């Protein structure tokens, strides 16, 4: 039994939703600790595709409590759409809890996000336009709206007055956009608050009560390590901390509560939006990975950039997050290739380096140094145990584990729940040598 953090070990979109869904079977509580509706999880259950942005995928298990933690920013309009979608699909959402201190994405946040990104022109960051950055900015400036503010009309009217006046000034004078009316926003968001009120809880007390009662807690991050605000490819990052340390802040727990950290990595690498990407591919292999892997963003629908597995950022993710095991996803996407390459180091201005440069300008100049491995050129989609895998697929996984110096606990071979090889359940399984 263990309290486990699940993080993305690349630039997000690694398939964390499926892994979180898988591990939620062993968890009593699942906590989403950061990010907002800029994240997206696609879960396939009995050939039914469910897309979630805020609600942890553990909601699909009736006896699992799902908590949206204080570090998450909540767009109540989209959250309620997710709730309605789950109800329409016959899913019990009584276990859903929302932290009273989570900050709220307001309409002016979304409008400003889109306006600022458009204004950047060729220097755009590649945001989703969902208002996440401006929401976190208001939080840092102590000018934000929290979930608990939506539960009282007088309180909401009071706390929204100053930020709305400021944002309307920006909208009108800088971007030439019509200002928003306080009364309209208050009326709309009070209605959201009324619908969500039965789910609102004290996040920290709820988590610590579960811990005291020896419950298994799964902490779920959004995005990925290389999108971390402090430790990612800044400025092409998100506005929060997806790394494992962010779980403590976003959930309100101490690091001693965390027993294990599992990183999720694709068998290749993708990223969405702008920013350096050393192993990025062009041409037919890029198209093949994108098409076979259905590499289109859950939130925006944008086509993802595809590249070979990058062991340099992989080792960086192991270090920054303190990973003690890996889940490797989409191995099946490589099934048809006769040769697969893995980046083992970079060439930076003629010098070979095996570490991740924290300066994005340096990362742009990095040229990948590859190790070539043989492909297996047969389907792995029906493999359910390691012995089912072709020899070259096993060799590939062993190479990744050796390169990153961390064992592999789970291998995913498709979108469905059953298309998975579980070598060890990180929550219930003993700590032991896995696939290395």
CA neighbor of 192 nearest in space, from 284, 95, 102, 304? 102
Contact 79, 109 (CB under 8 A): no
- Kindly report the backbone phi and psi dihedral angles of residue 326, in degrees, each rounded to the nearest multiple of 5, phi listed first: -125, 150
- Kindly report the backbone phi and psi dihedral angles of residue 91, in degrees, each rounded to the nearest multiple of 5, phi listed first: -100, 130
Contact 233, 18 (CB under 8 A): no
What are the start-end ranges of the E strands in 334-429? 339-348, 351-353, 367-374, 408-412, 420-422
Give ∠ CA 61-67-71 in degrees, rounded to 5.
145
- Environment class of residue 408 by beta-carbon count within 10 Å: exposed (0-12), middle (13-18) or buried (19+)? buried
Q: How many CA atoms lie within 13 A of 366 on its CB side?
A: 29
Scan for tokens 């989409």, then name that residue: 330
13 tagged catalytic: yes
Structure tokens at 131: 């208002």
Q: Give the active site residue among 21, 28, 41, 324.
A: 41
**Helix ranges, 322-433 (H):** 360-365, 391-404
Q: Give the active site residue among 13, 21, 138, 228.
A: 13
CA neighbor of 251 nearest in space, from 203, 215, 210? 203
Contact 8, 240 (CB under 8 A): no
What letter does residue 262 receive in the DSSP assignment? E
- Kindly report the backbone phi and psi dihedral angles of residue 166, in degrees, each rounded to the nearest multiple of 5, phi listed first: -65, -45
- Kindly report the backbone phi and psi dihedral angles of residue 237, in degrees, each rounded to the nearest multiple of 5, phi listed first: -135, 180
What letter does residue 44 receive in the DSSP assignment? E
Distance, in Å, from the CA atom of 347 to the CA atom of 368, rounded to the nearest integer, reads 6
Distance, in Å, from the CA atom of 370 to the CA atom of 344, rounded to the nearest integer, reads 6
Catalytic residue positions? 13, 41
């Amino acid at each position: 039994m263990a309290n486990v953090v699940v993080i993305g070990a690349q630039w997000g979109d690694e398939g964390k939703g499926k892994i979180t869904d898988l591990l939620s079977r062993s968890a009593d509580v699942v906590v989403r600790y950061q990010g907002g509706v800029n994240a997206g999880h696609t879960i396939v259950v009995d050939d039914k595709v469910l897309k979630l942005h805020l609600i942890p995928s553990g909601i699909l298990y009736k006896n699992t409590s799902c908590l949206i933690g204080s570090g998450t920013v909540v767009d109540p309009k989209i959250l309620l759409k997710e709730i309605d979608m789950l109800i329409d699909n016959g899913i019990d959402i009584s276990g859903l809890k929302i932290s009273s201190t989570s900050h709220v994405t307001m309409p002016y946040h979304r409008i400003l996000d889109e306006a600022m990104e458009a204004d950047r022109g060729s220097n755009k960051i590649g945001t989703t336009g969902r208002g996440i950055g401006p929401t976190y900015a208001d939080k840092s400036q102590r000018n934000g709206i929290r979930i608990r503010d939506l539960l009282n009309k007088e309180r909401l009217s009071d706390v929204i007055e100053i930020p709305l006046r400021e944002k309307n000034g920006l909208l009108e004078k800088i971007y030439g956009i019509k200002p928003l009316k306080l009364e309209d926003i208050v009326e709309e968001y009070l209605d959201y608050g009324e619908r969500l009120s039965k789910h609102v809880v004290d996040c920290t007390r709820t988590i610590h009560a579960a811990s005291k009662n020896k419950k298994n807690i799964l902490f779920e991050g959004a995005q990925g390590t290389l999108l971390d605000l402090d430790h990612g490819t800044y400025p092409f990052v998100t506005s929060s901390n997806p790394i494992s340390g962010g779980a403590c802040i976003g959930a309100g727990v101490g690091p001693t509560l965390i027993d294990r950290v599992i990183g999720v990595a694709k068998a290749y690498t993708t990223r969405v939006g702008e920013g350096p990407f050393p192993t990025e591919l062009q041409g037919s292999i890029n198209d093949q990975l994108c098409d076979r892997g259905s590499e289109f963003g859950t939130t925006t629908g944008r086509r993802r950039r595809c590249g070979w597995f990058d062991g340099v950022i992989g080792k960086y993710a192991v270090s920054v997050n303190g990973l003690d095991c890996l889940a490797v996803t989409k191995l099946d996407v490589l099934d048809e290739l006769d040769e697969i390459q893995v980046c083992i180091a970079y060439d930076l201005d003629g010098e070979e380096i095996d570490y991740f440069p924290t300066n994005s300008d340096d990362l742009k100049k990095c040229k990948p140094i590859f190790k070539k491995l043989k492909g297996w050129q047969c389907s792995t989609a029906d493999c359910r145990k390691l012995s089912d895998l072709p020899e070259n697929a096993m060799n590939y996984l062993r190479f990744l584990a050796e390169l990153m110096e961390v064992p592999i606990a789970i291998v995913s071979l498709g979108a469905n729940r059953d298309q998975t090889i579980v070598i060890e359940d990180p929550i219930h399984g003993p700590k032991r040598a896995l696939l290395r």
